[in-house]
Structure 1
Amino acid sequence: MKLGLVGYGFGGRVFHAPFIHAAEGVDIAGVVARSADKIAQLAKDLPGVPVYSSLAEMAAAGEVEMVTITTPPETHKALTLEAIELGLHVVCDKPIAPTYPDAAEMVEAAKAKGVLLNAFHNRRWDTDFRTLKSVVESGRLGDIRAIHNRLDADDWATLEAGPGGGLLRDHGSHFIDQMLFLLGPAAAVDAKLDYMDLPQGTTDVSYAVHVRHQSGQHSYITGSKVNYYNEREFRAYGSLGTYVGHGTDVQARMVMAGHMPADDPAGWGIEPKEAWGTLHTEGNAELVSSVQSKIQDLYTQFAQAAQSGGPGPVPATGALHTMRVLDAAREASRTGQTVLLD
């Protein structure tokens, strides 16, 4: 399958292109970029790949069958609808739209056109999350009562400022999606968002979201970027014990250090022993070895689904529910009331 990359900023260059290159059955056949610095970077990173000034120009060249939208969040809806109208299958970075109604419009457009729309919730493939998932599904924790999912980052520079951005829409959408993927749909949402007045506008800079799932289980998702502290933690409480994992995902660390997933497929996506989590049970605490996970599998599975007519690895219908929970969290924080979901 021939894929077009729309945008080549930090996300496109670091979190998309390396994993597309490592995926099976996918080739980058074009990139939409306009600034001189990005075009120069493309000549270095992807020599010989055509560069276009717009999505329409790339589609008119007839070289791509599907696209990935990696541009800033406020552009996702318009570009996705344009790609759908052009008959292209779409992977849209998170959040796929500003609000749930916007996302629903995109899903309906894809259905009407008969193309596949998936969300880039790549953190379902984070190695630390996949290890947590394997522990939960093994039954060694017994009945799951609650899971805490936390990321504190001393990282003012990457805060997406302004009313269209904010931390909840940024990595909050990933971590809420992880919990919905693991524990199932939400039944009720409580939340507290903290805001700051920045030059770009009022922005949520930290969040605490409590989701009661239809299963009766609970998840607590918290994050910040302005508290001068770094910590990534999963904490899962069950009837038979507790699992605790720390550290950021090894795949993100490796890519940002310049390592490419295609260079070492067999050794990719495995946490070093010092980053393994611990399973605490009565009278015992044992390290849990990291499972292997590969973000490139998202693109491999998407290309297969585009050819076979399947739903894809992250169907937009699931992304719709994530958007509904994000909207509910903002509403719950604004009103101080629990928001019930049907």
Structure 2
Amino acid sequence: MVRVGLVGYGLGGKVFHAQLIQMAPDLELYAVCSRSLEKRQDAEADFPQIVTYGTFDALLEDDNIDLVVLATPHDTHAPMAIQAMDAGKHLVTDKIMCLNETEGRSMIEASERNQVLLSVYQNRRWDGDFLTLQQILAEGILGDIYTIESNITTYGGPHVGWRAWKKYGGGRVLDWGAHLVDQALRLYGPTVESVFADLQYRYPKDKADVEALSLIHLRFANGVRYFIELGTAWMYAKPRYHVRGALGSFRKYGIDPQEAAMKSGVFGVLVPEDPARYQLRVNNDRGQTVEYPVSPLFGSYGTYYDNVGAALAHGEELLVKPEECLEAIRVIDAIRRSAEREEVVKLI
């Protein structure tokens, strides 16, 4: 068994990482690290068999730990990851991988220097709606794809805590944006030709200094225009996905249900999604417009840690490679440059 030391026991550490690690066949949740005594006690109550540490240095000194998982603020990912890998530990960090391309390259260098695994928790590759979208695109039923919209649009104010502030890596571009850019690259590879972004800062300055609204346009080498919209000013949410092709369109409303299920204490079961959230309209070979039913695929967040465990225990190929995540960081860097300069940024 691969013994895991989990760093951070907030929402992400407690609800997502700890549970998925414990369910993975080749992983054992061995230790939890938190500066908060209350959170360490919470972890001990949830998992009586574990040991707990109040400092990161103490956790790294434990030779029983094979793999360190970081569920910590974004600005800590690169320095803590490099420290852990230099201590000989395999390393998984929650998304976003890091704050910029320079940090990402330093992380990969540390992985290679110490010959340890490095991966990023990109669980939304296993959203059921994204898997369904991939299947529809693979079938070719929509013909040549013109545009894809990928939206996370809600109503409300900024996040509280560190996520509200740039210096900690807060904001939706580095949060949801990390997932949505990763999904775009899974569909079309590292072939983003250009990026244009418009970020609006509308929150009260004493509440947050991160973007309130983000409009992002990625242009791929194959001609596909990929639009990402993020923000908290929508009383009426946009579709989660809207795809337009030469032969038809696909729309899907609502967010994958796995996260909500895990927050409510449901773990390790397939979570169904209402097919009514999916719409597929196609022009058939007789020139008729037809609505087709969509059978949503089940999501599977557990696949991520199952694979990490199998990669370490059995040499299985790693599904989320650090080089892929670095490419997403390059795109996100370009998003921020585009918004700052108010111009298109060329990547290819």
Scaled to the shorter chain, the TM-score interval is over 0.9
Distance 1:10 1:85 in 2: 27
4+ residue stretches of structure 1 with deviation over 6 A?
none
After TM superposition, give the deviation of residue 308 of structure 1 in Å.
4.6
**Correspondences of 1:250-261 after superposition (within 5 Å):** 250-261=257-268
**Correspondences of 1:1-342 after superposition (within 5 Å):** 1-156=2-157, 158=159, 160-164=163-167, 165-185=170-190, 186-196=192-202, 198-199=205-206, 202-228=209-235, 230-261=237-268, 264=269, 268-275=270-277, 277-282=278-283, 283-309=289-315, 312-342=318-348
Q: Deviations over 1:165-221 (max 9, x none)?
A: 211111111111111111222111111111145326621122111111133222101
After TM superposition, give the deviation of residue 142 of structure 1 in Å.
1.6
After TM superposition, give the deviation of residue 6 of structure 1 in Å.
0.8
After TM superposition, give the deviation of residue 72 of structure 1 in Å.
0.7
After TM superposition, give the deviation of residue 225 of structure 1 in Å.
2.4
After TM superposition, give the deviation of residue 154 of structure 1 in Å.
2.4
Structure 1 residues 46 and 232, CA gap change in structure 2 (3 angstroms) = farther
Q: Which amino acid aligns with 1:243?
A: F
Q: TM-score, normalised by structure 1?
A: 0.93
Distance 1:35 1:155 in 2: 29
Provide the secondary structure at the position in 2 that maps to 1:75.
Answer: helix
Provide the secondary structure at the position in 1 that maps to 2:31.
Answer: strand
Q: Which amino acid aligns with 2:189?
A: G
Distance 2:229 2:107 in 1: 28
Percent identity between the aligned chains?
29
Provide the secondary structure at the position in 2 that maps to 1:133.
Answer: helix
Paired residue total: 336
After TM superposition, give the deviation of residue 306 of structure 1 in Å.
2.4
Provide the secondary structure at the position in 2 that maps to 1:204.
Answer: coil
| Contact preservation (8 Å) 1:116, 1:311 | no
After TM superposition, give the deviation of residue 274 of structure 1 in Å.
3.7
| Contact preservation (8 Å) 1:145, 1:238 | yes
Distance 2:159 2:70 in 1: 19
Distance 1:224 1:103 in 2: 26
RMSD of aligned residue pairs (Cα, Å): 1.8
| Contact preservation (8 Å) 1:22, 1:296 | yes
